[in-house]
A and B are shown apart, each in its own frame.
Chain A
Amino acid sequence: QKEVEQNSGPLSVPEGAIASLNCTYSDRGSQSFFWYRQYSGKSPELIMFIYSNGDKEDGRFTAQLNKASQYVSLLIRDSQPSDSATYLCAVNNGRDSSYKLIFGSGTRLLVRP
């Protein structure tokens, strides 16, 4: 079992719809969760982070965390073609005191005009 799992996609949604991206993790000691966006040929860019159970909203983005279910998600409202990218979920390594992150393989999102 991978430590951080994401559906590789592609997830295809029409412009204006809500895109829902999901991530599960195996380490119950993980405390910090990050979502990065990566355009093709570019570097990962931080878009959201969440530490507590529940929802955290930032503009069109909402991160949701459920530690009991070991599940974190990213919702993108009013999806735009410019949101088409790969979204990486990253989780801190809860088993030691280092600051390492473990990344999922990413979900590719396609927003159709």
Chain B
Amino acid sequence: NAGVTQTPKFQVLKTGQSMTLQCAQDMNHNSMYWYRQDPGMGLRLIYYSASEGTTDKGEVPNGYNVSRLNKREFSLRLESAAPSQTSVYFCASSETGSNQPQHFGDGTRLSIL
């Protein structure tokens, strides 16, 4: 059972470089999410997609863009990386509905020098 798959698992970038984090789920979930996790800050929502074809900003969207490519895939792009974006990034997915739990991928550890 793959569940939610994130690539890459680790990445080091230089300030100003761009990159795309990939996320794919095989659970046929409608909703997908991108979070970042920093020490002492918990999980903070960057962007989410309630269903295919829709995306919305979360708590900390500045400096990021997303694309819901299809029902399975939801990518996160850093156009011009900054040291403040050094973090662990998690993708999650869920069924439709406010009572549905979210299931997480293994995360991408991103360092920006």
A99 touches B101 (CB 8 A): no
B106 touches A32 (CB 8 A): no
Classify chain A: how many residues form its interface, as a range. Answer: 20 to 34
Which of A31, A43, A44, A103 neighbours the largest number of chain B CB atoms within 10 Å of its CB? A43
A44 touches B104 (CB 8 A): yes
B98 touches A92 (CB 8 A): yes
B58 touches A100 (CB 8 A): yes
Chain A hits for B75, CB < 8 A? none
Name 22 A/B residue pairs within 8 A (Cβ), A-sorted: A31-B98, A31-B99, A34-B102, A43-B104, A43-B105, A43-B107, A44-B43, A88-B42, A90-B102, A92-B98, A92-B99, A99-B31, A99-B48, A99-B96, A99-B98, A100-B33, A100-B45, A100-B48, A101-B102, A103-B42, A103-B44, A104-B42
> B33 — nearest CB in chain A belongs to which residue?
A100
Interface residues of A (CB under 8 A from B): 8, 31-32, 34, 42-46, 49, 51, 88, 90, 92, 94, 97-101, 103-106
The minimal Cβ–Cβ distance linking A30 to chain B, given in whole angstroms, is: 9
Chain B hits for A34, CB < 8 A? 101-102
Minimum-distance CB pairs A-B, first 7: A105-B42, A103-B43, A43-B104, A32-B99, A92-B98, A103-B42, A46-B101
Interface residues of B (CB under 8 A from A): 31, 33, 40-45, 48, 50, 56, 58, 90, 94, 96-107
Known A46-B103, A51-B99, A98-B98; further 14 A-B contacts with Cβ < 8 A = A34-B102, A42-B106, A43-B105, A43-B107, A44-B90, A45-B104, A97-B98, A98-B50, A99-B31, A99-B50, A100-B33, A100-B45, A105-B40, A106-B42
Could you tell me the distance between the alpha carbons of A52 and B109 in the complex, rounded to whole angstroms?
A: 36
Partner of B100, one of A45, A94, A99: A99
Chain A hits for B103, CB < 8 A? 46
Chain B hits for A103, CB < 8 A? 42-44
Could you tell me the distance between the alpha carbons of A24 and B100 in the complex, rounded to whole angstroms?
A: 20
B90 touches A43 (CB 8 A): yes
Chain B hits for A101, CB < 8 A? 45, 102
The minimal Cβ–Cβ distance linking A56 to chain B, given in whole angstroms, is: 13
